[in-house]
Amino acid sequence: MKSNEVFSGLHDIGELAKKMIQMKYHITYDLVYLLVELALVLPVATATVKRSFSVMKFIKTDLRNNIGDNFLTNALAFYVEKDIFASVENEEILQRFQAMGPRRCQLPATGKKK
């Protein structure tokens, strides 16, 4: 690739990946392209893992140290995606929970109407 002038003006690895696809070199040099792809994805994946462990520190305290995997996964999902869950109205959650099956009593309405 050093001898090819098309690749001489590239400034970062993202441009290299785009140029390889344009020139169809991602088919010819598939292992090289996989390494370039890995180099592009690795920082994002590492940040996601670090964020998950940081969140786990808040969820899994000494008092809740023996919680099961299913509960921990659900709690982490709620904590990480709290912006999405903040947009869901409490009334919708209560209605869905009540509709899941018979309850000993009806849950009270929150009083907020849309």
DSSP per-residue codes, 18-76:
HHHHHTTHHHHTHHHHHHHHHHHHHHHHHHHHHHHHHHHHHHS-STTTT--HHHHHHHH
Q: 2-6, 51-55, 78-82: lowest mean pLDDT where? A: 2-6
Output the pLDDT for position 2.
64
Please count the structural domains in the chain.
2
pLDDT band at 62 (very low <50, low <70, confident <90, very high): low
| Global pTM value | 0.41
- Let me know if residue 25 belongs to a domain: yes
Classify the phi-psi angles of 4: left when phi > 0, otherwise alpha if psi is within -120 to 50, otherwise beta: beta
Give the domain extent around 64.
Answer: 60-100
Mean pLDDT in residue range 95-108: 76
pLDDT tens figures, 12-36: 888 888 888 888 888 888 898 889 8
Q: How far is CA 92 from the centre of its chain?
A: 24
Using the 3D structure, point to which of 51, 73, 89 is the last residue of a domain.
51
Q: Give yes or no: residues 34 and 10 share one domain.
A: yes
